[in-house]
Chains A and B, each alone.
Chain A
Amino acid sequence: MELDRLFRDRRGAIVEEWVAALLRIYSEEGAKFFGSVPNRFANPAGYIFRTNTERIVSKLMDGADETECRQDLDGILRVRAVQGLSPSTALCFIPALKEILYREACQVVSPEQADALLHNWYIRIDRLLLLGFDIYMECREILWQQKANQLYDRTHKLLEKANLIQKEDSTG
């Protein structure tokens, strides 16, 4: 399809815009840092943001199923889930992709046509968003679990020992 070819040609620009949307929630200094030359070790969050965004865009353009983007989306959201953001803020970059694609489409077709042609894309992005909610919640749950377990872990051996004594009493 014509639109798909357009998107493929404009892949770089679309990724750029999407990364910008992803970074818009941070303070300028933070955003510039995350957005600077991605360096896996010195700037892991920025690295994940950029490479994973690129991969998601590529996969979607190649017609892959949204679930195939799970790992990449997971990387991004895993970082966002610990940054003290509300769920809507953490995930808001996903629907932003709709608008980015819409703007791109409007360069070659009329706005009405664009909406119609992008219908499938919108559905896929919605699915991606729902997938994002799942991932985000999973991450949060690990965090809550760890918080809940922390005291237990610290005293685990003591508890185990206490149980052991109990067991011996009941069997003996």
Chain B
Amino acid sequence: MSTLPRPEELYAKINHTPPKADWMDVPVDIKPGRYCYAANPDSLNYVGLPHARKWNPLDEDWKLPENWKEIIFNGIRERLDKYRSFKVFMDICVRCGACADKCHFFIGSGDPKNMPVLRAELIRSVYRGEFTTFGKLLGKFAGARPLTEEVLKEWWYYLFQCSECRRCSVFCPYGIDTAEITIMGRELINLLGLNIDWIATPVANCYRTGNHLGIQPHAFFDMIDFFCDDIEDITGIRPEPQFNKKGADILFVTPSGDVFADPGTYTCMGYLILFEYLKREYGLDVTWSTYASEGGNFGFFTSHETMKRLNSKIYMEAARLGVKWIIGGECGHMWRVLHQYMDTLNGPEFQSSNMTVPKNPITGTVFQHAASTKMIHITEFTADLIKHGKLNLDKSRNAGIHLTWHDSCNTSRGMGLFEEPRYIIRHVVDKFTDMPPGTIREETFCCGGGAGLNAGECEELRMMGGLPRASAVKYVHEKYGVNMLGCVCAIDRAVLPGTMKYWVPEVTVCGLHELVGNALVIPGEKEREVNLRGEDLPGKEDE
């Protein structure tokens, strides 16, 4: 008996504490559940990305091209010249650690290489060794290290554990933005064909068919038609959306996730109801496009060039159809691209001179803040309508909902969209409670699935990353009885239901225009029994 190890000793034998070592000496350990599968070579080939091949991250040999180091170094050199952000961020970090505990992946996993500063140091160390005098002379003493296959694998692993949410950049005294570093890092490893499939295949699909699932135009049309059926069942009124209509006033572009995946589909029904209402009441002329049917831009997670190629469709289609301006649906990284990149990327080449500064024909409001890009967010549009009393809203249909609001990363830190959705919320639901400060607005936590990390195979990573968000939701759920988490991003709507199911199963997820769609009273509609999800409305349960 006495020779048996005691529990703590037994436990000591399975001690998993990593050896105490400098981070540069800790080899990368690619764990299942935290990495995404390698890109399908067909997808890369379709969009002409280099070095497409079959490879497996778990294999020893990643089948790199022979001159891979040269490719990376040339890539870095080129980007140092082209992007001041990259160059400055490589040079000025003082490792103060203000960002260290701000990353949701670090908060959830405790993996030190998920601290933003260290994620960037993975690349900085190589930069120092190759591009700075000090690093070349003093090597490791100057914080430099050579680029090896091991280092490259580490890059790949951790660059796809960053959701480019920019939370760290809010706290950095120099504004160093890890998203920017991740973007550069991903561009670099893309030069070697090291993409993940959950990004590469949607990129190819968006390029070809206009949406990330590769749904062809007739099926896209059918999906929307199908929503119209549902809306007709619920309200007695059938929306008649227009597709690819030349001469329409406004082009509407939304993430295709809204068309294909629950609960985004309910948000999509919300858009349809809103536009139908406005058409009937005020003659608003909006068209959808099957060609530019994806607002979300997976190219953003690949390279600036791919982003440009995918994004070009929006202006090209606006020019072809001759619309005056564009409304964009509820999406996160789509709006980062639209707000901060689109006009620069494609404005000079593809924006038609016939487009005008967006002006709401119903209220007369001129959206001067979008004077150059000529595209506004649907919450800006809807908030303006509500402010002018143009919508007939019946809050009671959302009476069963106690809402809290998830500020999506990209619309928060890459745009600043905070009050527009909250203004709408106050007009469509009665019970609304914000999560505690420090977890919302510019300090909002990511859902954990941004920047192309929504693949099935990295579920654990997403759950770890989603813990800080879920923790704040759990708090308002327990304290105030919140049962619905609203958001304005298609990736949120895809990721957060799973996150909630795991961490706070009592809370479900919705988009903002789902609530608008529920509350909006279309003239001549029948008395609704159910909401857009087909659930009984409050007070209608017994009938």
Please give the residue numbers on chain A whose beta carbons come within 8 Å of chain B beta carbons, in ascending order. Answer: 21, 24-31, 33-34, 40-45, 47, 78-79, 82-86, 88-89, 92-93, 95-96, 98-100, 102, 139, 142-143, 146-147, 150-151, 153-158, 161
Contacts of B438 in A (CB 8 A): 41-42
Q: Which residues of B contact A84 (CB under 8 A)?
A: 31-34, 109, 460
The answer to whether B18 touches A27 (Cβ under 8 A) is yes
Closest A-B pairs by Cβ, 5 of them: A30-B110, A44-B471, A99-B8, A82-B463, A150-B456
How many residues from B make CB contacts under 8 Å with A? 56
A27-B110, A86-B14, A150-B459 are known; give 5 further A-B pairs, CB within 8 A. A28-B20, A33-B106, A40-B471, A43-B107, A157-B259
A154 near B32 (CB under 8 angstroms)? no
Please name 12 pairs of A and B residues whose Cβ atoms are closer than 8 Å in the assembled complex, sorted by A.
Answer: A25-B17, A44-B468, A82-B460, A84-B109, A95-B11, A99-B8, A99-B11, A143-B463, A146-B456, A154-B494, A157-B259, A158-B215
Question: How many A-B pairs with Cβ below 8 Å?
Answer: 147
**In the complex with contacts A33-B106, A34-B110, A158-B260, A143-B460 CB distance below 8 A:** yes
B379 within 8 Å of A (CB atoms): no
Contact status B439-A30, CB under 8 Å: no
Chain A residues with Cβ below 8 Å from B16 are 25, 85, 89
**CB-nearest residue of chain B to A84:** B31
A96 CB contact (under 8 Å) in B8, B213, B456, B459:
B8
Q: Tell me the dominant secondary structure on chain B's binding face.
A: helix
CB nearest neighbor in A for B108:
A45
B418-455 contacts to A, CB under 8 A, are 436, 438-439
Contact B456 A151 (CB under 8 A): yes
Per the bound structure, the CA–CA distance linking A89 and B31 in Å amounts to 15
Interface mask (B12-49 → A, CB under 8 Å = 1, otherwise 0): 00111110100000000001111000000000000000
On B, residues with C-beta under 8 Å from A are 6-11, 14-18, 20, 31-34, 101, 106-112, 115, 213, 215, 219, 222-223, 226, 259-262, 265, 436, 438-439, 456-457, 459-460, 463-464, 467-468, 470-472, 475, 494, 498, 501-503
Chain B: minimal CB distance from A82 (Å): 4
A30 B109 Cβ-Cβ under 8 A: yes
CB-CB under 8 A from A155, the residues of chain B are 213, 260-261
Could you tell me if A143 and B8 are in contact, using CB atoms closer than 8 angstroms? no
Q: Is the CB of B7 within 8 A of A99?
A: yes
Contacts A41-B438, A146-B501; is A27 near B112 (CB within 8 Å)?
yes
List residues of chain A with CB within 8 A of the CB of B33: 82, 84
Chain A residues near B15 (CB-CB < 8 A): 24-25
CA distance A47 to B467 in the complex (A): 12
Q: Count chain B CB atoms within 10 A of each CB in A27, A45, A92, A153 and give the residue with the most.
A: A27
Contact between chains at A161 and B108 (CB < 8 Å): no
Chain A, interface SS category: helix
Q: Would you call B101 and A30 a contact (CB within 8 A)?
A: no
Question: Nearest Cβ in chain B — how far from A38, in angstroms?
Answer: 11
Set of chain B residues within 8 Å of A156, measured between Cβ atoms:
261-262
Q: Which residues of A contact B468 (CB under 8 A)?
A: 41-42, 44
Whether B262 lies near A142 (C-beta < 8 A) is: no
Known: A84-B34, A158-B260. A42 touches B456 (CB 8 A): no
Residues of B with C-beta under 8 A to A24: 15, 17
CB A58 to nearest CB in B, in angstroms, measures 19
**Contacts A84-B32, A142-B502; A30 near B464 (Cβ below 8 A):** no
Beta-carbon contact of A21 and B11 below 8 Å: yes
Contacts known (A42-B101, A45-B467); A27 close to B261, Cβ less than 8 A: no
Closest to B106 in A: A33
> A161: which of B8, B10, B34, B226 is its contact (CB, 8 Å)?
B226
Name the distance in Å between B208's Cβ and chain A's nearest Cβ.
18
Closest chain A residue to B458 by CB distance? A147
Known A-B contacts A41-B472, A154-B261; the reply to A83 vs B460 at CB < 8 A is: yes
- For residue B102, which residue of chain A has the nearest CB? A42
| A residues near B502, Cβ cutoff 8 Å | 78, 82, 139, 142-143, 146
